[in-house]
């Protein structure tokens, strides 16, 4: 019976997290268009429902009923597989994110932990799946049989490999501080007020993580693989209908994951900013912090112009990579001197 309850708990948690994530993705597209609109002194979507709130659903219905084209020169199996790889990995990463502490179901002594999987290698799992997810974009561009698509995916491959190195190195400082790869432990060590958050101990790492993270999920100013003005959408040029929507959703899901990891590693996860505020559930704090990051990602998209490709590669290898190494060295030195 215990086993059955356990199974039910896992399934319910998976469904709830998946549903919330998909709803977040849908409303992030709305938020992004709205915020970008106001940044550019426009209204953004305002026709479908109040404040355009039903826009994501009408977009979804439109994408679903559009004609699904597969180009004649395309590698058909890979062409269909690529968006699936992108969306599956983007969603699966969320399995290890701890989005709250635990609570007891009223009337029973059944404790529900608010995370799907609490594994010893949580942080590495995120990187592993993110690196698999890159295949989605790279193969999508290649299999289209289109020059722009191929150029986009070559750029994506080079850019992601380059920034993955700096991204991985930037968070090693946090791992050294918390002496664990388990995300729950990293969060627990940041308990007791906002002055304990890792962002004060690893400020350089935090900024580097945000920059590399933006490059990793191909957001402006690093959106080289799909640069509209030069590559006419790059890797997803031949995609239409639901396959394009999958790529689109994968990008936004990935953005939420990047923000969630940033919150977990640097901003104390579900911990409240001040100890006496702990009567508000951790999930609320997690969502507030997540929203701040997501808003920042949208805001900076409306602010910065796209960089040139050679500038991106130079920036990644000659500035970010040495900076992360220096940050790592200093962190390790301080920790070893302290004992």
Partner 1 sequence: MAENIGTLFQWLIFLGVAFISILASLLLVTRKNPIHSALFLVLNFLCVAVLYILLYSQFIAIIQVVVYAGAIVMLIVFVIMLLDLEVELRSGLKFSYTKLIGGFLALFFFLGIFYAVVAKSPTGKIGSSYTSENITNNVKAVGEVLFTQYLFPFEIVSILLVVAMVGAVILSKKRA
Burial 20-48 (b: 16+ CB within 10 A, else e): ebeebbbebbbbbbbbebeeeeeebbeee
Burial 63-87 (b: 16+ CB within 10 A, else e): beeeeeebbeebbeeebebbbebbb
| Sign (positive or negative) of CA dihedral 217, 218, 220, 226 | negative
Nearest to partner 1 of 2, 108 (CB atom): 2
Nearest to partner 1 of 37, 185 (CB atom): 185
Our finding on whether 78 is near partner 1 (CB under 8 A) is yes
Nearest to partner 1 of 135, 197 (CB atom): 135
Least distance from partner 1 to the Cβ atom of residue 61, Å: 33
Measured at the alpha carbon of residue 33, what is the angle toward residues 263 and 211, in degrees to the nearest 5?
35
Residue with tokens 């004649």: 72
Least distance from partner 1 to the Cβ atom of residue 37, Å: 37
Q: Are 236 and 246 in contact (CB under 8 A)?
A: no
The correct pick among 125, 148, 197, 270 for binding partner 1 (CB under 8 A) is: 125
The correct pick among 61, 84, 121, 334 for binding partner 1 (CB under 8 A) is: 121
Burial 182-203 (b: 16+ CB within 10 A, else e): bbbebbbbbbeeeeebbbebbe
Our finding on whether 181 is near partner 1 (CB under 8 A) is yes
Least distance from partner 1 to the Cβ atom of residue 317, Å: 12
Least distance from partner 1 to the Cβ atom of residue 165, Å: 9
Least distance from partner 1 to the Cβ atom of residue 175, Å: 10
Stretch that binds partner 1, among 19-27, 152-160, 286-294, 330-338 (CB under 8 A): 152-160
**C-alpha–C-alpha distance, residues 157 and 138, integer Å:** 6
Angle in degrees, 0-180, between the axes of helices 241-266 and 282-303, rounded to the nearest 10: 120
Our finding on whether 11 is near partner 1 (CB under 8 A) is no
Nearest to partner 1 of 19, 128 (CB atom): 128
Residues in the chain: 339
Our finding on whether 238 is near partner 1 (CB under 8 A) is no
Tell how far CA 70 is from the center of its chain.
29
Pick from 242, 274, 264, 110: nearest CA to 178:
264
Our finding on whether 91 is near partner 1 (CB under 8 A) is no
Nearest to partner 1 of 28, 85 (CB atom): 85
Strands of the chain (E only): list them: 102-104, 111-113
Our finding on whether 148 is near partner 1 (CB under 8 A) is no
Least distance from partner 1 to the Cβ atom of residue 127, Å: 5
Tokens of 236: 């997803």
Nearest to partner 1 of 14, 61 (CB atom): 14
Our finding on whether 329 is near partner 1 (CB under 8 A) is no
Stretch that binds partner 1, among 115-123, 288-296, 298-306, 311-319 (CB under 8 A): 115-123
Binding site for partner 1 (CB under 8 A): 2-3, 75, 78, 119-121, 124-125, 127-129, 131-132, 134-135, 138-139, 142, 150, 153-154, 157-158, 160-161, 164, 181
């Amino acid at each position: 019976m215990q086993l059955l309850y356990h199974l039910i708990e896992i399934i319910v948690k998976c469904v709830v997290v998946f549903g919330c994530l998909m709803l977040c993705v849908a409303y992030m597209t709305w938020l992004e268009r709205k915020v970008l609109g106001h940044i550019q002194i426009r209204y953004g979507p305002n026709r479908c429902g109040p404040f355009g709130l039903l826009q994501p659903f009408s977009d979804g219905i439109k994408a679903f009923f559009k004609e699904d084209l597969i180009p004649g020169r395309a590698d058909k199996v890979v062409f269909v597989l690529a968006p699936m790889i992108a969306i599956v990995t983007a969603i699966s990463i969320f399995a290890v994110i701890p989005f709250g502490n635990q609570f007891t179901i009223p009337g029973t002594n059944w404790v529900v932990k608010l995370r799907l999987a609490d594994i010893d290698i949580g942080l590495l799992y995120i990187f592993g799946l993110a690196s698999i997810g890159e295949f989605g974009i790279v193969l999508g561009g290649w299999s289209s049989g289109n020059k722009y698509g191929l150029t986009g995916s070559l750029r994506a491959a080079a850019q992601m490999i380059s920034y993955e190195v700096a991204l991985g190195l930037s968070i090693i400082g946090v791992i050294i501080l918390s002496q664990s790869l388990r995300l729950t432990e990293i969060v627990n060590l940041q308990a007791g007020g906002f002055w304990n958050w890792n962002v004060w101990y690893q400020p350089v790492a935090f900024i580097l993580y945000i920059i590399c993270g933006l490059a990793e999920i191909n957001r402006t100013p690093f959106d080289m693989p799909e640069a509209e003005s030069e590559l006419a959408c790059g890797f997803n040029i031949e995609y239409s209908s639901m396959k394009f929507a999958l790529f689109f959703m994968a990008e936004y899901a990935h953005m939420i994951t990047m923000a969630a990891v940033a919150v977990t590693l640097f901003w104390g996860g579900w911990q409240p900013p001040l100890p006496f505020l702990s009567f508000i559930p951790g999930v609320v704090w997690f969502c507030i912090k997540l929203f701040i990051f997501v808003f920042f990602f949208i805001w900076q998209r409306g602010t910065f112009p796209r960089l040139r490709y050679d500038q991106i590669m130079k920036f990644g290898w000659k500035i970010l990579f040495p900076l992360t190494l220096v940050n790592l060295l200093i962190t390790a030195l301080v920790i070893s001197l302290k004992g």
